[in-house]
Structure 1
């Protein structure tokens, strides 16, 4: 079919609206996850953990962490899998795709030599119900190497993670930051299993819906989902979500959003630079002398422009949100400066702490 044509401004508006970062705010975590696709879980809490700041940035002051717990633990409308919360509607396709990880030759070999260990883990969960990994004995006969340093020597968390990719166990809740596991059949709803081809199409369509407009890549594998589109000044074969395109003229307008560095909006770095002209580098792992904007600076979205970086942190001992700087990547107008300040104040109120502002905003 003949490609649609979009200006760069229109492409940015589509992307912002697809991520629920325009003036029309969603109502709850399930609505966010259905549209955005996934809510990243990360314990880094310079301000607050990613799963909560992602939801606050979209829902606003009405969001409380208890809403996420209810959706996951009681209503079972969201599931934790592979480091993120996903809508339960995506679960069948996700499990088909994740099973490929569990079928990697090294994973298959490790499971084979630890067949008794696997059986003992599943038997303990079946007999005792939901358990922390620490409550399950490590009886592995062969340990996996720990060259990366990301794992402890305890093989139980590795086994549970691998079995979750196979759809045999599931995370039922968290106690603090620790996962509580159970048999998947007691957590997940019964649903038909799609074929690999159906699963790939479903996930590609969800990715494109979450992006609004994207180029198929390793960052955002949309394949041939949606419809072709040409974006003014950009090369390559782009795809657009037809429903988002049809609603382009219904744009409710923009607002200010403060984004956690692990927010889904920031994930596809090449798209971020191509469409928004924003080259984002997380400085968390840079030596301090090489940082320009701070350890864990939050990008500031004003309308459809990445206009600044918020350098701030919660001081746990003092119980206050300290703002060291608001770095202007693009010059703020006075009205924009007031909007940013209002959003930072809203952030402090949501956190339940006073604001200590040493910046010029």
Structure 2
């Protein structure tokens, strides 16, 4: 109850996070650190509908497209039930701020920002994806709605950090691996700060995926980028790190 009360006060702007000790947060009254002028400032939203519209539009733009369904992508939006969500989507459609799109083979309608239509058109004209690989963080924007990812990419991802060790299928901190326009695997990787080493422990390929020469090159390039981002000096690989489909 105490945690729920603190988080409620934090999201209402009555508290701030003063500092952290590991994972433990230390809160303080906002009025002691923020000016009275700032705390008493008028809301930038003209109405609750305006507030919902702005946040829905922002969430759609952050991911690229979304559906009008119950979703983790809407977490943190106050007073946002089915009625309010439908109202926000309808208003955005009428204002021509979003547009409907459909994906071949999927009956559900998706929505994207109207201003992103040119980008989608350019990709349709030149559909060849660059040979680029990315290691995605478990809480990456694209992964906010796991059901959407499962529906579109046929990729079933679960962040197992809160799953008991004996029940984990892969590992506590496993990153989805995106290559071109598809999810090709899951990566378990560790940063050893003292040794300044990025250790690749496991890479599980998805069914029907192969670790071709071009994918190996893309993986190596991405690993080097990830190494630099994590302030490591080298990348090391555990023996047998790449798990082919029949090894899972």
Cα distance, 1:256 vs structure 2:
1.4
Cα distance, 1:233 vs structure 2:
0.9
The runs of 5 or more residues in structure 2 that have no matched partner are: 75-84, 93-97, 244-248
Match of 2:184 in 1: 307
Change (3 A) 1:285 1:244: same
Q: Is the 8 A contact 2:64 2:112 kept in 1?
A: yes
- Tell me whether 1:233 sits opposite 2:113 in the alignment: no
d(CA) in 2 for partners of 1:291, 1:159? 32
- Tell me whether 1:282 sits opposite 2:171 in the alignment: no
- Tell me whether 1:350 sits opposite 2:229 in the alignment: yes
- Tell me whether 1:215 sits opposite 2:94 in the alignment: no
Once the two structures are overlaid, the 10-residue window that deviates more, 335-344 or 227-236, is 227-236
Change (3 A) 1:164 1:325: closer
Cα distance, 1:352 vs structure 2:
2.1
Change (3 A) 1:295 1:169: closer
Match of 1:272 in 2: 149
The correspondence for 1:334, drawn from 207, 213, 217, is 213
d(CA) in 2 for partners of 1:190, 1:347? 41
d(CA) in 1 for partners of 2:135, 2:149? 16
The runs of 5 or more residues in structure 1 that have no matched partner are: 1-143, 145-154
Q: What's the secondary structure of 1:273's corresponding residue?
A: helix
Post-superposition Cα deviations, 1:79-137, rounded to whole Å, max 9, x if no partner, equal xxxxxxxxxxxxxxxxxxxxxxxxxxxxxxxxxxxxxxxxxxxxxxxxxxxxxxxxxxx
Q: What's the secondary structure of 2:105's corresponding residue?
A: coil
d(CA) in 1 for partners of 2:119, 2:41? 34
Q: What's the secondary structure of 1:229's corresponding residue?
A: strand
Change (3 A) 1:309 1:189: farther
Change (3 A) 1:215 1:349: same
Q: Is the 8 A contact 1:229 1:238 kept in 2?
A: yes
- Tell me whether 1:245 sits opposite 2:103 in the alignment: no
Alignment RMSD, CA only? Answer: 2.9
d(CA) in 1 for partners of 2:225, 2:112? 34
Q: Is the 8 A contact 2:63 2:141 kept in 1?
A: no
Equivalent runs, 1:44-193 vs 2, <5 Å: 144=1, 155=2, 159-171=5-17, 174-175=19-20, 177=22, 178-179=25-26, 181=28, 182-183=30-31, 185-186=34-35, 190-193=41-44
d(CA) in 2 for partners of 1:189, 1:326? 51
Q: Is the 8 A contact 1:307 1:332 kept in 2?
A: no
d(CA) in 2 for partners of 1:349, 1:189? 43
Change (3 A) 1:245 1:285: same
Does 1 or 2 have the higher relative contact order (CA < 8 Å, sep 6+)? 1
Change (3 A) 1:162 1:360: closer
